[in-house]
Amino acid sequence: MPPRDTGTHIDKKPLPGDIAIVIISRERAGVGYTKAIWDMDDDPAGNVLHVAAHGITKEEVEEVLENPDGIETSRSSGHPIAFGETSGGRLIAVVYEEVDEDTVYPVTAYEVE
């Protein structure tokens, strides 16, 4: 049974120097992380555009982080990688940095063939 969505909360936090972090929190019953930190959508160095460059959406990343099929460690970066299938049937890998026990910063994501 898929996790139950119990609501979405969006919190924008401005930081010095035109940097903003958008925290999207989807509280769900289940395993995995419940919060992902996303940079501004138009930040050329941000994680949103990095993920999108691989044809992956923020929603797909969050799906996998909330209910990963498995977690390993990247041999190249040392960051954790969550693997999982999206509701659309795509198998993706999400490389992330753990902020705390509930929160991650997605670094990149890509489809696994």
Instruction: For residue range 26-80, list pLDDT tens digits in order.
Output: 444 345 888 999 999 999 999 999 999 999 999 999 999 999 999 999 888 999 9
3-state secondary structure of 49: helix
Structure tokens at 60: 């797909």
Q: What is the pLDDT of residue 101?
A: 87
Residue 106, amino acid: P
CA dist., res. 28 & res. 68, Å (int): 13
* Of the candidate ranges 25-29, 43-47, 87-91, 97-101, the one whose mean pLDDT is the lowest: 25-29
Residue 2 CB neighbours (<10 A): 11
How many Å separate Cα 72 from the centre of its chain? 15
Q: What is the pLDDT of residue 113?
A: 84
Q: What is the pLDDT of residue 4?
A: 38
pTM: 0.73
